[in-house]
């Protein structure tokens, strides 16, 4: 980090970033007349590259948020000890959802449209309103982007895709809990995380998800609860 400081001006810049996390100036600190004090740098984002695009991942499941003063271990220190992961339904009767007559109520009335209403849609929008971690372009990740988060074990670093998931590399190598790096993603739930896309079959009542239990592409009925991890394009 480069620091330029004077009584009137303060500039902090990062010449480089770590390869797997993205860091920000969490607290700018103070000028005591001679030097800059109490600056805090923290790394609330994990980082992956998908199809040539750099994606910043909220390291915390929606409902919880990054605590730079958390457990102070691992990449970038900190943890997700502020709040708790919040289970959300993709679409409910309150949103106009009916599995027989209106299964696409929260995705524009068509199984080809992305989600555009309901609690899951609002979740990442809420981060935009709050300018969470100084960013305003939060969105739901595609399920294919979530493949880059799956990690079956400490020794498995390859991208896992499809319905076979971690079973493709052997159950003996699988994390006991959620199939995501527990340092990069401290409170990942071992269950479904929502993407924005309807599974175009079975009456349009399911969404394509990633299940961080077995670590695979999966499907979940829209009126059931899953979790959200928001992303921001760098």
Strand bridging mode 79-83 / 88-89: unpaired
Does some domain include residue 54?
Answer: yes
Q: Residue written as tokens 């175009």? A: 200
Does some domain include residue 41?
Answer: no
- What separation, in Å, do the N-terminal and C-terminal C-alpha atoms of the chain show? 19
pLDDT per residue over 176-198, tens digit each? 889 999 999 999 999 999 999 99
Does some domain include residue 123?
Answer: yes
CB count within 10 Å of CB 226 equals: 23
Domain that holds residue 190: 48-233
Does some domain include residue 166?
Answer: yes
Exposed, middle or buried, 2 (CB in 10 Å: 0-12/13-18/19+)?
exposed
Angle, vertex CA 27, rays to CA 21 and CA 31, nearest 5: 135
User: Which 3-state string (H, E, C) describes the chain?
Assistant: CEEEECCCCEEEECCCCCCCEEEEEEECCEECCCCEECCEEEEEEEEEEECCEEEEEECCCCCEEEECCCCCCCCCCCEEEEECCCCEECCCHHHCCECCCECCCCCCCCCCCCCCCCHHHHHHHHHHHHCHHHCCCEECCCHHHHCCCECCCCCCCCCCCCCCHHHHHCHHHCCCCCCECCCCCCCCCCCEEEEEEECCCHHHCEEEEEECCCCEEEEEECCCEEECCCEEEC
pLDDT per residue over 207-220, tens digit each? 999 999 999 999 99
Closest to 161 measured CA to CA, from 146, 175, 181: 146
Q: How many domains does the chain have?
A: 1
Does some domain include residue 205?
Answer: yes
Along the 234 residues of the chain, how does pLDDT read in single tens digits? 454 445 555 666 667 888 899 999 887 777 767 776 677 889 999 999 999 999 999 999 999 999 998 876 655 679 999 999 999 999 999 999 999 999 999 999 999 999 999 999 999 999 999 999 999 999 999 999 999 999 999 888 888 999 999 988 876 678 888 999 999 999 999 999 999 999 999 999 999 999 999 999 999 999 999 999 999 999
Does some domain include residue 167?
Answer: yes
Does some domain include residue 40?
Answer: no
């Amino acid at each position: 980090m480069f620091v330029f400081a004077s009584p009137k001006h303060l500039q902090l810049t990062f010449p480089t970033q770590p390869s797997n996390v993205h860091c920000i100036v969490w607290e700018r600190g103070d000028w005591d007349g001679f030097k800059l004090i109490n600056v805090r740098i923290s790394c609330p984002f994990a980082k992956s590259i998908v199809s040539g695009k750099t994606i910043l991942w909220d390291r915390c499941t929606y409902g919880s948020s990054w605590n730079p003063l958390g457990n102070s271990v691992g990449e970038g220190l900190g943890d997700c000890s502020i709040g708790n992961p919040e289970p959300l339904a993709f679409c409910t009767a309150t949103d106009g959802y009916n599995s027989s007559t209106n299964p696409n109520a929260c995705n524009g009335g068509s199984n080809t449209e992305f989600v555009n209403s309901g609690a899951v849609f609002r979740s990442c929008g809420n981060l935009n309103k709050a300018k969470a971690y100084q960013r305003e372009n939060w969105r739901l990740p595609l399920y294919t982007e979530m493949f880059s988060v799956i990690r079956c074990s400490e020794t498995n670093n390859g991208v896992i895709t499809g319905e076979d998931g971690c079973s493709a590399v052997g159950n003996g190598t699988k994390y006991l809990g959620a199939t995501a790096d527990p340092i990069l993603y401290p409170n990942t739930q071992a269950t479904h995380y929502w993407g924005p896309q309807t599974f175009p079959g079975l009456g349009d009542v399911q969404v394509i998800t990633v299940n961080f239990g077995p670590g695979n592409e999966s499907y979940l009925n829209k009126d059931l609860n899953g979790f959200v991890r928001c992303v921001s394009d760098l």
